Amino acid sequence: MKFFLDTANLDELRRGAEWGIVDGVTTNPSLIAKEGRPIKEQVAKICEIIDGPVSAEVVAVDAKGMIAEGKELIKIHENIVVKVPLTRDGIEACSALSKEGIRVNVTLCFSPAQAILAAKAGAYFVSPFVGRLDDIGQTGMDLIRQIVAIYENYQFDTQVLAASLRGPMHVVESALAGAHIGTMPYKAMDALFNHPLTDKGLEQFLADHKKAFGA
Ligand code: G3P
């Protein structure tokens, strides 16, 4: 399973990069807006930190505009993946860009039917949102399981990028479901490390060592 950080914050990306476990980055207009720098500048800085796919989302809502914006975004760096919303225009843009060999991440996917459309349009990634389905009382993880099963039935090449993951169990369940990638905020990735028995065990090891050797 690949791990992506779902952030546009450079400090978080630098810390994640130091761990050596970050395979890519996803951003969206809300995350870019939080950093206060125009998308092209911010994404260029992100590409200097993380060596892997970096999703940059269009803000146009019509297919023609999305295609034009996508073609501008890929000029920033070879690792850019153009992110488009799962709308009729987004699918049209995905088909057109994919046919030209441009990698597209189709985002805001909330149903298996929508995921089939993304695969049919040649998407490189599809981003089903787990946490936001949980937020409205559905079991978001069911969507990941359904998409993985459907894509396997037809050997679709589109990779399932489990998104809107909010904590360790979302990550673990996405892995069990067979998602190719999990994208998560820095806080969720950091929480993966935690186990009280690790802390307790380490404390004991160090205390025993100190008792025997004085250091
Ligand atoms: O980047 C898209 C997605 O991961 C957003 O997550 O927590 O805002 O639902 P969230």
| 8-37 pLDDT, tens digit each | 999 999 999 999 999 999 999 999 999 999
Catalytic residue among 83, 120, 187, 200: 83
Which residue, judged by its Cα, is nearest atom 6 of ligand 1?
164
CA of 164 to the centre of ligand 1 (A): 4
Identify the pLDDT of residue 215. 75
| 121-159 pLDDT, tens digit each | 999 999 999 999 999 999 999 999 999 999 999 999 999
| 165-179 pLDDT, tens digit each | 999 999 999 999 999
Q: Is the pLDDT of residue 1 over 90?
A: yes
Identify the pLDDT of residue 214. 92
Identify the pLDDT of residue 113. 98
Q: Which of 185, 144, 145 is nearest to 167 (CA)?
A: 185
Residues 6+ apart with CB under 8 A from 198: none
Q: How confident is the model at residue 69 (pLDDT cuts 50, 70, 90)?
A: very high
| 87-125 pLDDT, tens digit each | 999 999 999 999 999 999 999 999 999 999 999 999 999
Task: Strands of the chain (E only): list them.
Answer: 2-6, 24-26, 54-57, 80-85, 104-109, 125-128, 159-162, 181-184
Q: Which of 144, 162, 61, 145 is nearest to 105 (CA)?
A: 162
CA of 18 to the centre of ligand 1 (A): 23
| 38-68 pLDDT, tens digit each | 999 999 999 999 999 999 999 999 999 999 9
The CATH fold assigned to 2-213 is TIM Barrel (3.20.20)
55 CB less than 6 Å from ligand 1? no
Q: Where are the domains of the chain?
A: 2-213
pTM value is 0.96
Identify the pLDDT of residue 43. 98
